[in-house]
Amino acid sequence: MDQPKTQHPRTTTSPGVTTLADPLVNKGTAFSRQERAELGLDGLLPPAVETLDEQVARAYEAFHGYDKPLNRHIYLRQLQDTNEVLFHRLVTEYLEELLPIVYTPTVGEACQRFSEIYRRPRGLFLTWEDRHRFRDILRNRPHRDKDVDVIVVTDGQRILGLGDQGVGGMGIPIGKLSLYTAIGGIHPARTLPILLDVGTDNEDLLGNPRYLGRRARRLTGADYDEMIEAFVSAVEAELPGTLLQWEDFATAHAHPILARYRERLLTFNDDIQGTAAVTLGALSTAANVSGTPLPDQRLVILGAGSAAIGVADMIRTAMIEEGLSEDEATARFWILDVDGLLVRSRTELTPQQRMFARDDGEVTDWDGTGLAEVVRRVGPTALIGLSTAHGAFTEEIVRQMGSTCERPVIFPLSNPTSHSEADPADLTRWTDGRALIATGSPFPPLTVDGHEVPVAQSNNVYVFPAMGLAVTASRATRVTDRMMVAAARAVAECAVRAAHGADGPVPLLPPLSGMRESAREIALAAALAAVEDGVAPGATEEELREAIAKTQWTPRYEA
């Protein structure tokens, strides 16, 4: 005799529970008594009614209740998944303190342990097997009723200086987009993090039973290109006009992808162009402080990946705008990789690297082409590190540079902190306080001539949120090089403006505490360049300023 089927009780979620589960509308304890009655929240919340300011104070105390950076990162992610307004208000109010937790360097560990600390879904995961359904999957995005202003996408292959993190790379788009909102003011419902899971070559991940990504080697060649094209085509069809930011792609893919799609989409690569823009901004400030104009700088760059070449490209573009010929500007650079100086006889160089390769005849009488010898022979005014080689800027090299340059510009930009080419305190000591320093990761303040000086963190956060604000407000259809250079120069202007009337050395970058205000000025510069380049509708400076102010979302509860 057949047994009767088990009958499960039917459950219906109450409207109040649904409201509390939506982080975009949830106010938590800030719901008024009237709202609680109208929305079916009575009994679902503690009796106290708090203001947003009171919630921020309580959340800030809770944040400090965790001693380890990763645990603080997890707490903030959970807060973001619970209450978007409270999360972004907290980050905005304590940006300088929370930035290293939300993003670098802590986000690196969060990516490494993504599968272990995974709590709730955010964004979209696209896999090779689903490539023919990408448009349908894009329709599964949260808040489908709203347009998407910004997508940040990664394939997880080159996460910070940590290498291949596979599906764990999703931590980067999530972190970046939280800053698009906190600083740029892009509404959180109009952002979309995406992970292209093309597999991983990380043996530790492939052997980890808890790994949440595809257990397969990375796609290569035509298959990889097909995956990227399928994704781009889906975005074009489903989300036309959305800003698409490529993030943490390996050098072998980053430049080709950008070259292939930059004239087809509203898109940019943050590692190539964002890193370059903020570096140019810091270098422009340093050039003014040192008295050596940008076109007169001699630059040695350690590292020849996509970020390093992007930095060189943008600085060269700015030099050309300031009067140098293309050949003259290119001659101001000496770029090294793990095998030494890029020279023309090297057959393995990419086209982008070859553009900066030196003539072999220049080095025939040199004692090798390593960093120490290049610095000794060139006598650079600026030394930039994008190599992930911890400690590469040694005391010998820095003292040599300081012996030929009164105000040496030294930027150890690799991150996380464990991969930085030098510690700023050492650079200050080795140059008797003369070095002009910017780093890729956060470091504690320095004492120079009796003044406490913050270490400028050459973080892309100075540029990418403002770029998102600029293209959204101006309705730009492309991101041009001139827009990036304009943003870089605006970064330098904001730094000088913020330091006006203050005692002590001029910081190379604006204070992080005022970044929402700076973002508006940087966005304005980029938007004006977009109009001048003909990639945005005609508008006056005042009209663009008004559009930017209207676009920049502020985290507060709606009545």
Q: Are 458 and 411 in contact (CB under 8 A)?
A: yes
Count of all residues that appear for the chain in the document: 559
Which one is catalytic: 5, 27, 75, 103? 103
| 71 assigned binding-site residue | no
130-138's contacts with Cβ under 8 Å and 24+ in sequence apart are 131/226, 131/227, 131/230, 131/231, 132/230, 134/230, 134/231, 134/233, 134/234, 135/233, 135/234, 135/237, 135/238, 137/234, 138/234, 138/235, 138/238, 138/239
- From residue 492, give the alpha-carbon distance in Å to each of 30, 40, 225, 280: 40, 51, 38, 8
**Beta strand segments in 198-338, E:** 243-246, 267-269, 299-302, 333-337
Residue 87: which residues within 8 A CB-CB, separation 6 or more?
Answer: 23, 76, 79, 80, 178, 555
Closest residue by Cα to residue 107 from 168, 193, 195:
168
Rounded CA gap, 307 and 464, in Å? 15
Rounded CA gap, 271 and 463, in Å? 11
Tokens of 497: 């403006």
Tell me 500's DSSP state: T
The DSSP secondary structure of 102-143, one letter per residue, reads HSTTHHHHHHHTHHHH--S--SEEEEGGGGGGHHHHHTTSTT
Q: Are 492 and 318 in contact (CB under 8 A)?
A: no
Q: Does the active-site annotation cover 146?
A: no
Q: Does the active-site annotation cover 176?
A: yes
The 3-state secondary structure of 326-379 reads HHHHHCCEEEEECCEECECCCCCCCHHHHCCCECHHHHCCCCCCCHHHHHHHHC
Q: Are 147 and 92 in contact (CB under 8 A)?
A: no
Which one is catalytic: 60, 94, 176, 211? 176
Rounded CA gap, 213 and 148, in Å? 25
Tokens of 459: 């973080």
| 130 assigned binding-site residue | no
| 415 assigned binding-site residue | yes
| 197 assigned binding-site residue | no
Rounded CA gap, 520 and 89, in Å? 18
Give binding residues for a divalent metal cation as ranges: 247-248, 271
Q: Which residues are annotated as catalytic?
A: 103, 176
Give binding residues for (S)-malate as ranges: 158, 415, 459
